[in-house]
Chains A and B, each alone.
Chain A
Amino acid sequence: MPLQYEGILAEYESTRRQSTVFDTSHMGEFLITGDCQENGLDRIVTQPLNDMPHKTCRYGMALNASGGIRDDLIVYRIADGEWMIVVNAGTCPKMIEHFTDHLTSGALFQDISSQTGKLDIQGPSSREALKTIVPGIEKLDYYTFDYFEVLGQRVIVSRTGYTGELGYEIYFPWERTPELWREILKNPDVKPAGLGARDVLRLEMGYSLYGHELEETVSPLEARLMKFVDLEKDFLGRDALWKQREHGAGRKLIPFISETRRSPRQHHPICTPSLEPVGTVTSGSFSPALQKGIGMGFISQGDIQEGQNFLIGDEKNKIKACWATRPFYKKGSLKS
Chain B
Amino acid sequence: METIEHYLYTKEHEWVNIDEKTATVGITDYAQAALGDVTFVELPEVDSEVEQFEQFVSVESVKAASDIYAPMSGRIIEVNPKLESDPALINRSCYEKGWIAKLEISNIDEKLNLMTAQEYRKFLEGLET
Contacts and interface: CB of A to CB of B under 8 A. Distances in A.
Interface in A1-46: 3-4, 7-10
B40 A200 contact: no
A196 B42 contact: no
A196 B63 contact: yes
Given A8-B62, A265-B65, A286 B39 contact: yes
Contacts of A286: 39-40, 60, 62
B40 A260 contact: yes
A288 B62 CA distance: 9
B40 A7 contact: no
Contacts of B42: 262, 317
A315 to B, nearest CB: 13
Contacts of A219: none
Contacts of B37: 7-10
A232 to B, nearest CB: 42
A285 interface: yes
A261 B65 CA distance: 12
Contact of B60 (A7, A10, A263): A263
B129 to A, nearest CB: 22
Contacts of A10: 37
A127 B64 CA distance: 34
Interface in A45-92: none
Interface size class of A (residues with CB under 8 A): 10 to 19
A10 B60 CA distance: 17
Interface string B64-80: 11000000000000000
Contacts of A317: 42, 58
Contacts of B40: 260-263, 286, 293
Given A9-B37, A261-B87, A200 B65 contact: no
Interface residues of B, number: 13
B44 interface: no
A285 B88 CA distance: 16
Contact of B36 (A4, A263, A285): A4
B100 to A, nearest CB: 16
B83 to A, nearest CB: 10
Nearest to A3: B63
Nearest to B87: A261
Interface in B21-68: 36-37, 39-40, 42, 58, 60, 62-65
A42 B88 CA distance: 50
Contact of A9 (B58, B62, B65): B62
B94 to A, nearest CB: 15
A4 B58 CA distance: 23
B91 to A, nearest CB: 8
A285 B62 contact: yes
Interface in A264-287: 265, 285-286
Given A261-B87, A262-B42, A317-B42, A8 B36 contact: yes
26 contacts: A7-B36, A8-B36, A8-B37, A8-B62, A8-B63, A9-B62, A9-B88, A196-B36, A196-B62, A196-B63, A200-B62, A260-B40, A261-B39, A261-B40, A261-B87, A262-B40, A262-B60, A263-B39, A263-B62, A263-B65, A265-B64, A285-B62, A286-B39, A286-B40, A293-B40, A317-B42
Interface of B: 36-37, 39-40, 42, 58, 60, 62-65, 87-88
Given A8-B37, A196-B36, A293-B40, 18 more contacts: A3-B63, A4-B36, A7-B37, A8-B36, A8-B62, A9-B62, A196-B62, A196-B63, A261-B40, A261-B60, A262-B40, A262-B42, A262-B60, A263-B39, A263-B40, A265-B64, A286-B40, A286-B62
